[in-house]
Amino acid sequence: MVFICKICEKYPNSHSLVKYEENKDHVVYYTCPSNATNNEIEGILSHFDGTLKETMYKNWIWILDLKGFSMKHFLEIGNTVSIIKLINEKYSSNLQKIIVINTNSYANTMYNLVKSFFNTRLQSLIFFTDSTNNTK
């Protein structure tokens, strides 16, 4: 059954996690926090949890697009930590890769502050790609 976020149903673009593609090997999810219009953490966690429940028994890849990541997002560090904890606790066993694109100095600083909240396995799955598609 496909999850429909009640907040996004009423206010489209409230949250930014969406299924990007699916094939026999995995599901790819895409999120761009700067595109989301609602930063209330309970709604964000409900959206992530409901969306990712569809993937409980499938391998998945997460594309995290940090285009437009700003001081506003940097100051919402608690939201970032809560999302990391949710993924660590419920959805990390079948996560294959986290691809981070369009980083900037705010995003890089945020990552350095929160990377300790990722379990060791998840830390090994994070790949940063610059605008020329070079992986770091």
Evaluate if residue 124 carries a pLDDT over 70: yes
What is the pTM assigned to this prediction?
Answer: 0.88
Judge whether residue 132 has pLDDT over 80: no
pLDDT in tens, 34-73: 999 998 999 999 999 999 998 878 999 999 999 998 888 8
**Per-residue pLDDT tens digits for 80-109:** 999 999 999 999 999 999 999 999 888 889
Amino acid at 23: N
The answer to whether 22 and 51 are in contact (CB under 8 A) is: no
CA distance 61 to 18: 12
Band of pLDDT at residue 9, cut at 50, 70 and 90 = confident
Domains of the chain: 6-129 (3.40.525.10)
Sign of CA dihedral 17, 121, 93, 129: positive
